[in-house]
């Protein structure tokens, strides 16, 4: 590379010198001829040379232009050397002779020595292409890319070299990457020597390099130098977070088994002693007083120094200024360390900047979604204080719409220091979906499904009804046990207010073992946010329910339920939701309280009320395990008559209530031991959810509860209890779940005594 550059400089210099030597020319000569020669045995690419030269036959020769032409030819990357010579033909004409040394072209790129990974996998790491001019820097980068790949996979002794093999009789070469894979080891254990402040168990949990039981079976768990490098930093950070500023890792020893297939890592640590905080000080603050900023800070004089607390304090100070409109505020901490006294003084240095307000908000990137749909989700408006907390809330709201793959909200400086513009840049994603699916479960047997949905629908925009922020879904299901048709529409901002309207038109049919149940109805629900975590809803449902096709052996109790019923239901609902996320939450809780009222006053067949309370709490335990606690309480009764039809009663048992029991078998039964449901329900579950590896979770659970025939007849002494375990796969084609429950306490004689497998397999394609 340096040689080529030197040759280029020399060539240009020689041309310049020769052209400025006095000659007999009274004026600059004309170019009569340009000859392109090759310095090796292979043809010179005359067309490529002429295409990159500004000088041409018939033009006046200009040495400065020739100098630029030479630079341009080198810049093409096709030549190792470019030389020029000027021949005098007549008194006023010259010939320019351009001699080039073409670089070879890569004919093939090959790999050898690779046994663990295929040629095609390694070829995907190589950016140099065949039939391109040989480029050494690109090949060097490709060599490093292959080597890094092996290192990441645990081949710590891997070596990758490359060689250039000329193809005889051509100006082509083959590039061969030679790989010496070496051995790789799985991690048997990680040990620590010299640790007293932090247990080995806690240290191991924080590391990337961990021994897992499944590494004995599956192809992962190999030791990687990159992971070890990260682990060393993690260990150091853990000690610094506890005030051990003199901490260091003395050594890391690797102990192999005889076949060098397993390795034990032993870290020898020097902890030192924890430092205390000698003093804290704030500098540079004028908008906030020392007392205002000190409130809520974690680092205190006299306490143990923790780097993690210091980082949180910096973030707290920064957020306070950001919330007050000081978008350019900065804060960093200086540590004045005194090893003699094992103490550290902390000085928080603050640069406040200028408080700002929002001038304009510009939205870009939305080709489908209407501006108003985006603006109504923003919690910050023009002329508001430039509160970055509100900006973050606005971004989260827009991302939660699922209309955009990315949302960036950035403050832009204006000619006024105290005024900022906000640029909301969105990248839209597809919101329409067609799904074909099939599934099988222990509750519904086989079910086929077709669903068409549009998550960003606009009922007012035809013939292309998209971009209005509404949702439309059409779903058809058909199976051996049930069928379903539903058409759903959601308007999240009714009349321009944050009032959600949900409407559902549906027809469902379910074949129970004793009879068939069909429901056809229309449901309308209005929902409004209430306080921070609460939502309130009111709705009305018009439904026709038909019970027929009873089994010939059905009891008189069941046969009395036959008929068609018109139900009109008024629903009141309150929801409190503090979960950290909707799918696989790890903390927070959700509580739903629902009251359904059916009355003859608004045309229902009878006067029935139904009350449900569902609560679920998620408690993060030793990371990353989560304890899930769930409770469901139900009550249904009639205002006037002592009759509640079977379709309004409660049932329990099955995959979604009491695992280990058959579907709907828990609760009151008739003389044939067929389930007839009850008026009171109380269920609970305690479940420990833990990851096994990516996309696979395991669980241990205990379910308990019962259904009673009378209203408000709950009796915990009559609980049925089951225990069990489960696994769940989260795959792109859909979730797959298996739960095995085993009853350990049964209150009624008709209940199952053996274990039961519950499973749900859904495929989408």
Total number of domains constituting the chain: 6
Q: For residue 537, what are its two tokens?
A: 């809803």
Q: What are phi and psi of 147, to 5 degrees?
A: -65, -45
- Residue 219 confidence class, pLDDT cut points 50, 70, 90: low
What per-residue confidence (pLDDT) applies to 220?
58
- Say how many C-beta atoms besides its own lie within 10 A of residue 387's C-beta: 19
Q: Is 411 helix (H, G, I), strand (E, B) or coil?
A: strand
- Long-range CB contacts (within 8 A, 24+) of 55-61: 55/31, 55/96, 56/31, 57/31, 57/32, 57/33, 58/30, 58/31, 59/30, 59/31, 60/28, 60/29, 60/30, 60/31, 61/28, 61/29, 61/30, 61/31, 61/86, 61/94, 61/96
- Residue 442 confidence class, pLDDT cut points 50, 70, 90: low
Task: Work out the percent of the chain whose per-residue pLDDT is above 90.
Answer: 57
Do 586 and 734 belong together in one domain?
yes
- Residue 755 confidence class, pLDDT cut points 50, 70, 90: confident
Q: Tell which wins on pLDDT, 100 or 398.
A: 398
What per-residue confidence (pLDDT) applies to 461?
87
Is 482 part of any domain?
A: no
Task: Work out the percent of the chain whose per-residue pLDDT is above 70.
Answer: 92
Region 195-209: what's the mean pLDDT? 89
What per-residue confidence (pLDDT) applies to 731?
66
What per-residue confidence (pLDDT) applies to 9?
44
Q: Is the pLDDT of residue 209 over 70?
A: yes
What per-residue confidence (pLDDT) applies to 622?
76
Number of helical H runs and strand E runs in the chain: 12, 31
- Say how many C-beta atoms besides its own lie within 10 A of residue 282's C-beta: 20
Q: For residue 292, what are its two tokens?
A: 């205002």
CA distance 212 to 188: 9
Cβ neighbours for 523, distance < 8 A, ≥ 6 positions apart: 502, 503, 504, 506, 539, 540, 541, 542, 543
What per-residue confidence (pLDDT) applies to 546?
96
Q: Tell which wins on pLDDT, 26 or 665.
A: 665
Is 551 part of any domain?
A: no
What per-residue confidence (pLDDT) applies to 251?
94
Q: Can you give the CATH number for the domain in which 8 is found?
A: 3.10.20.310
Q: Is the pLDDT of residue 112 over 70?
A: yes
- Residue 479 confidence class, pLDDT cut points 50, 70, 90: confident
Q: Are 657 and 630 in contact (CB under 8 A)?
A: no
Q: Can you give the CATH number for the domain in which 597 is found?
A: 2.40.160.50
CA distance 57 to 62: 12
Q: Is 668 helix (H, G, I), strand (E, B) or coil?
A: coil
Do 620 and 752 belong together in one domain?
yes
What per-residue confidence (pLDDT) applies to 296?
83
Do 636 and 751 belong together in one domain?
yes
Summary mean pLDDT of the chain: 88
What per-residue confidence (pLDDT) applies to 253?
93
Q: What are phi and psi of 225, to 5 degrees?
A: -60, -35
Q: Is the pLDDT of residue 16 over 70?
A: no
> End of a domain among 428, 461, 490?
428
Burial class (CB in 10 A: 0-12, 13-18, 19+), 623: exposed
What per-residue confidence (pLDDT) applies to 734?
60
Is 490 part of any domain?
A: no
> SS3 helix, strand, coil % of the chain, rounded to 5?
20, 45, 35
Give the closest residue to 134 by CA, choosing from 101, 168, 161.
Answer: 101
Region 278-307: what's the mean pLDDT? 91
Region 459-476: what's the mean pLDDT? 92
Is 453 part of any domain?
A: no
Q: Are 314 and 321 in contact (CB under 8 A)?
A: no
Scanning the structure block, which residue is given the tokens 């060689």?
Answer: 163
Is 257 part of any domain?
A: yes
CA distance 523 to 488: 9
What per-residue confidence (pLDDT) applies to 14?
43
Q: Are 675 and 662 in contact (CB under 8 A)?
A: no
Q: Tell which wins on pLDDT, 560 or 261.
A: 560
Is 325 part of any domain?
A: yes
Q: Tell which wins on pLDDT, 565 or 52.
A: 565
Do 373 and 264 belong together in one domain?
no
Do 214 and 281 belong together in one domain?
no
Do 636 and 720 belong together in one domain?
yes
Which among 99-103, 128-132, 476-480, 517-521 has the top mean pLDDT?
Answer: 517-521
Is 540 part of any domain?
A: no
Q: What is the pLDDT of residues 127-170, one digit of tens each?
A: 998 888 888 889 999 999 998 888 877 787 788 999 999 888 88
Do 336 and 224 belong together in one domain?
no
Is omega for the bond preceding 624 within 30 degrees of 0, making it cis? yes
Q: What is the pLDDT of residues 343-388, one digit of tens each?
A: 999 999 999 999 999 999 999 999 999 999 999 999 999 999 999 9
What per-residue confidence (pLDDT) applies to 2?
44
Containing domain of residue 710, as a range?
580-764
Do 214 and 260 belong together in one domain?
yes
What per-residue confidence (pLDDT) applies to 221?
62
Q: Are 654 and 664 in contact (CB under 8 A)?
A: yes
Give the residues across from 572 on adjacent strands: 538, 595
- What element of type H or E holds 204? helix 200-206
Cβ neighbours for 556, distance < 8 A, ≥ 6 positions apart: none
Q: Is the pLDDT of residue 440 over 50?
A: yes
CA distance 727 to 183: 34
Q: What are phi and psi of 764, to 5 degrees?
A: -125, 135
Give the closest residue to 350 by CA, choosing from 366, 370, 365, 329.
Answer: 329
Do 136 and 227 belong together in one domain?
no
Do 711 and 658 belong together in one domain?
yes
Q: Is the pLDDT of residue 31 over 50?
A: yes
Do 703 and 747 belong together in one domain?
yes
Q: Tell which wins on pLDDT, 49 or 718.
A: 718
Q: For residue 107, what are its two tokens?
A: 């004919």
- Residue 171 confidence class, pLDDT cut points 50, 70, 90: confident
Q: Is the pLDDT of residue 332 over 60?
A: yes
What per-residue confidence (pLDDT) applies to 439?
63
What per-residue confidence (pLDDT) applies to 13?
45
Per-residue b/e over 653-665, b at no fewer than 16 CB within 10 Å? bbbebbbbbbbbb
> End of a domain among 290, 324, 351?
351
Q: Is 189 helix (H, G, I), strand (E, B) or coil?
A: strand
Q: What is the pLDDT of residues 571-625, one digit of tens each?
A: 999 999 999 877 778 899 999 999 999 999 999 988 999 999 999 999 998 767 9
Is 35 part of any domain?
A: yes
What per-residue confidence (pLDDT) applies to 216?
52
Q: Are 478 and 447 in contact (CB under 8 A)?
A: yes
Q: Edge-to-edge, what's the strand order for the sheet holding 30-38?
A: 30-38, 93-102, 79-90
Is omega for the bond preceding 615 within 30 degrees of 0, making it cis? no
CA distance 360 to 512: 61
Give the closest residue to 408 by CA, choosing from 426, 388, 421, 429.
Answer: 426
Q: How far is CA 753 from CA 685, 718, 742, 746, 750, in A?
A: 19, 16, 8, 8, 9
Do 258 and 345 belong together in one domain?
no
> End of a domain among 75, 102, 129?
102
Region 719-725: what's the mean pLDDT? 95
């Amino acid at each position: 590379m340096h040689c080529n550059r030197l040759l280029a400089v020399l060539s240009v210099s020689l041309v310049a010198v020769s052209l400025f030597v006095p000659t007999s020319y009274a004026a600059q000569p004309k170019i009569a001829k340009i000859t392109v020669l090759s310095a090796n045995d292979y043809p010179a690419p005359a067309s490529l040379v002429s295409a990159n030269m500004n000088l041409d036959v018939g033009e006046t020769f200009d040495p400065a232009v020739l100098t630029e032409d030479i630079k341009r030819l080198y810049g093409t990357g096709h030549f190792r050397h470019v030389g020029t010579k000027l021949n005098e033909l007549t008194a006023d004409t010259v010939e320019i002779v351009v001699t080039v040394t073409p670089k070879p072209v890569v004919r093939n790129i090959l790999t050898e020595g690779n046994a663990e990974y295929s040629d095609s996998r390694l070829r995907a790491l190589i950016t140099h292409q065949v039939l391109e001019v040989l480029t050494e820097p690109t090949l060097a980068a490709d060599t490093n890319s292959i080597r890094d790949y092996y290192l990441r996979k645990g081949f710590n002794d891997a070596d990758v070299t490359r060689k250039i093999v000329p193809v005889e009789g051509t100006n082509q070469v083959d590039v061969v990457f030679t790989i010496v894979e070496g051995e790789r080891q799985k991690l048997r254990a990680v040990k620590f020597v010299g640790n007293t402040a932090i247990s080995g168990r806690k240290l191991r949990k924080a590391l990337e390099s961990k021994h897992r039981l499944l590494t004995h079976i599956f192809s992962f768990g190999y030791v990687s130098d990159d992971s070890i490098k990260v682990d060393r930093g993690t260990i150091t950070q853990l000690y610094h977070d506890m005030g051990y500023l003199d901490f260091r890792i003395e050594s890391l020893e690797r102990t192999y088994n005889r076949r060098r297939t397993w390795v034990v890592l032993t870290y020898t640590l020097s902890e030192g002693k924890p430092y205390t905080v000698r003093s804290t000080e704030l500098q540079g603050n004028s908008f906030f007083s020392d007392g205002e900023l000190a409130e809520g800070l974690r680092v205190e004089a006299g306490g143990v120094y923790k780097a993690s607390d210091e980082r949180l304090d910096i973030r707290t100070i920064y957020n306070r200024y950001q919330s007050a409109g000081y978008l350019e505020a900065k804060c960093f901490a200086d540590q004045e360390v005194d090893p003699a006294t094992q103490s550290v003084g902390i000085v928080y240095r603050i640069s406040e900047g200028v408080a700002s307000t929002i001038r304009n908000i510009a939205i870009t990137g939305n080709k489908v979604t209407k501006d108003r749909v985006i603006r109504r989700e923003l919690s910050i408006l023009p002329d508001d204080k430039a509160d970055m907390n509100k900006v973050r809330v606005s971004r989260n709201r827009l991302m939660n719409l699922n209309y955009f793959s990315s949302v960036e909200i950035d403050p832009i400086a204006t000619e006024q220091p105290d005024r900022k513009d906000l640029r909301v840049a969105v990248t839209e994603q597809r919101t329409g979906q067609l799904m074909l699916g099939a599934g099988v479960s222990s509750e519904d047997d086989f079910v086929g499904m077709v669903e068409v949905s549009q998550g960003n629908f606009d009922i007012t925009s035809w013939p292309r009804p998209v971009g209005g922020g509404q949702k439309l879904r059409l779903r058809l299901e058909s199976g051996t046990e049930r069928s379903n048709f539903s058409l759903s529409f959601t308007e999240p901002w009714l009349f321009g207010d944050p009032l959600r309207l949900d409407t559902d038109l549906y027809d469902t049919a379910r074949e129970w073992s004793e009879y068939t149940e069909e429901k056809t109805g229309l449901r309308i629900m209005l929902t409004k946010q209430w306080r921070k975590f609460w939502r309130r809803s009111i709705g009305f449902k018009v439904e026709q329910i038909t019970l027929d096709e009873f089994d010939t052996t059905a009891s008189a109790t069941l046969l009395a339920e036959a008929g068609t019923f018109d139900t009109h239901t008024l629903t009141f609902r309150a929801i409190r939701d503090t979960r950290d996320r909707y799918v696989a939450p790890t903390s927070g809780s959700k509580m739903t309280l629902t009251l359904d009222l059916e009355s003859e006053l608004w045309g229902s067949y009878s006067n029935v009320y139904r009350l449900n309370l569902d609560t679920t709490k998620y408690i993060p335990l030793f990371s990353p395990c989560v304890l899930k606690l769930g409770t469901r309480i139900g009550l249904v009764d009639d205002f006037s008559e002592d009759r509640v039809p079977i379709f309004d009663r409660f049932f329990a048992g099955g995959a979604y209530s009491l695992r280990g029991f058959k579907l709907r078998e828990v609760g009151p039964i008739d003389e044939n031991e067929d389930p007839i449901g009850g008026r009171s329900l109380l269920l609970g579950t305690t479940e420990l959810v833990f990851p096994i590896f990516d996309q696979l979770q395991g669980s241990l659970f205990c379910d308990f509860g019962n259904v009673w025939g009378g209203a408000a007849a709950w009796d915990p002494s009559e609980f049925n209890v089951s225990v069990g375990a489960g696994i769940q796969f989260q795959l792109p084609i859909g979730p797959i779940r298996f739960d095995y429950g085993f009853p350990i306490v049964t209150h009624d004689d008709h209940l199952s005594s053996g274990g039961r497998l519950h499973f749900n397999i859904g495929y989408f394609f």
